[in-house]
Amino acid sequence: MRKSILFLALAAGVCLGMNAESKVYSFDTLGEINGVSDNGRYGVVTDPDFGMAYLWDSENPESLINITVTAESFDNFYGEDEMWITTAMDVSDEGVVVGSILLGYESVPAYYKDGKWTFLPLDPMSRNTNEAVCITPDAKVIAGYQFLSDPTSDIGGKYYPCQWFLHDDGTYELKMYSDIQLPNHQGFFPMTQSPDGEVVAGAVYCGVQSTIDAIVKNGELILFDKLETKLEPFVYNGKYFAGWEEKDGQKIQVWVDDVNDPRVEYYPTVYINGYRDSSSNGALVGFFTNCDGNGNLYGSRSRALNVTEDGAGEVVTEACIYNYKTDTWYVDDNYYFFSAGIGQGLLFTDSGDVIMDGVVSSVAETYNVETTCEVEGINKISANGSVLGGVASEFSEIINDDMYFPFFVKTEGYSGVQNIVGTPDKGLVITSPGRIEVVNAEEIAVYDLEGRLISTDKITYVNAGIYVVKAGNSVYKVMVR
């Protein structure tokens, strides 16, 4: 391990509205930050190469607590000096950590509380790969996935999302979403959930190599792309695969010119919005990785442009936000994905940028992160942006690969948190710094407190103050900062 790849930085007058002091806490410990509690008190770090897990406490911010499972905790199953591979994926406001523990060839979802790891219930059909990936701030709902046996699947099973709900006696009850209809591929991989546990979000694998954005809301799978499966022959160099035959005691492949030859074998092929997912076409990439308290899901979304009749096309991948409360999208083709954010006012990107109220800067510059290597970006943030969890990388000639190191930033937070009032069926009013947006309402009117009509547009830019907004038949008083 190298010394101090990041130096402790105490910076005053941070730019882009971060008018208060920020502090950066960095570590020589290998690992990546997977979770930050909504209240900013805790963070969790995992080193996947060595199977180590750590807990960060903002009240003692210059050190990491090693919470890697030891065999001693489980009756010395593998001997006194052994440790079990542990992942820490998220943490609640009270410091309850969720992740998984590798037992031989099986990973088991588990949670860490009061210095002890406890296994979460598994489905009877679960197999070797299962994990808890996120927890609500109050620790009442944990979300994750389990790999269930499925003889109809090409790989003998699929990954299904699940949640565990806390009972009054302190135990968690499993709720599997194995009845959702998934494509014949690996399945659904959850990456985040809403703070109230209503929505689980992540990526669904489909076709040969693509993933698409997906959520499970109240137990129902919602996809944003149209999937169609067609039976088609396998074509190579203009010939069609027609099975195998014996020749000179060996099995050889048979290729024919006529597609109508009865020996030609047909295979299911997935089309995504008309785009043929195959090894020859580029892969679509879609996923959600974080959710804020106003229903905004942050991630990536691909689109296929100029799609031809045979399913070819040009793939464009963009950073995206989907708000499941308003059923609206925001995309930015300057970036590949958004890793985290607060509304559209504070956004962190794949390239290590931060976009604050429309102004772009690097994370290193904005938060005065002094580093001798590359700041990759911010992975996780607290609910108000007062604590950020980031990662920096350095190339190692020893392992011929990048090494990743975690750092945390403590700030005064972001003051531009959105507020959403109303309901989708009666109209929603979304406020953010200098901005009022009305969604799902045909009749719109924005007034100041003196009763003067300001705007009838869906989006209105205003000065800080209090306004009266008419959205359809509903009227709301809102504050804009």
Say if residues 327 and 241 touch (Cβ distance below 8 Å).
Answer: no
Q: Kindly report, residue by residue over 187-244, the tens digit of the pLDDT.
A: 999 999 999 999 999 999 988 889 999 999 989 999 999 999 899 898 888 899 999 9
- Which of 171 and 357 is assigned the larger pLDDT? 171
d(CA 52, CA 166): 27
Given a cut of 70, whether residue 8 has pLDDT beyond it is no
Say if residues 15 and 379 touch (Cβ distance below 8 Å).
Answer: no
Distance of CA 338 to the CA centre of its chain: 9
Domains of the chain: 9-221+283-416 (2.130.10), 423-480 (no CATH)
Q: Kindly report, residue by residue over 365-402, the tens digit of the pLDDT.
A: 888 887 667 889 999 999 989 999 999 988 877 777 78
pLDDT at 371: 65
pTM score of the predicted model: 0.83
Q: State the pLDDT confidence band at 347, using cuts at 50, 70 and 90.
A: very high
- Which of 440 and 402 is assigned the larger pLDDT? 440
The mean of the pLDDT values for the chain is 88
pLDDT at 260: 93
d(CA 457, CA 455): 6
d(CA 288, CA 303): 15
Say if residues 261 and 240 touch (Cβ distance below 8 Å).
Answer: yes
d(CA 242, CA 258): 10
What SS3 state is found at 453?
A: strand
Backbone φ and ψ for 217, nearest 5 degrees, come out as -120, 120
Given a cut of 80, whether residue 251 has pLDDT beyond it is yes
The closest of 147, 41, 30 to 97, measured between CA atoms, is 41
pLDDT at 9: 29
Say if residues 448 and 454 touch (Cβ distance below 8 Å).
Answer: yes
pLDDT at 319: 98
pLDDT at 82: 59
pLDDT at 196: 95
d(CA 469, CA 256): 68
The residues facing 164 across adjacent strands are: 142, 174
For the four alpha carbons of 75, 79, 85 and 91, in that order, the dihedral sign comes to positive
The residues facing 190 across adjacent strands are: 202
pLDDT at 156: 82
Say if residues 336 and 347 touch (Cβ distance below 8 Å).
Answer: no
What SS3 state is found at 101?
A: strand
Given a cut of 70, whether residue 76 has pLDDT beyond it is no
Place of tokens 């052994």: 82
- DSSP letter at 58 equals T
Least confident of 171-180, 275-284, 335-344: 275-284
Given a cut of 90, whether residue 432 has pLDDT beyond it is no
Backbone φ and ψ for 147, nearest 5 degrees, come out as -90, 110
pLDDT at 154: 72
Least confident of 74-78, 101-105, 115-119, 384-388: 74-78
d(CA 150, CA 158): 7
The residues facing 100 across adjacent strands are: 87, 109
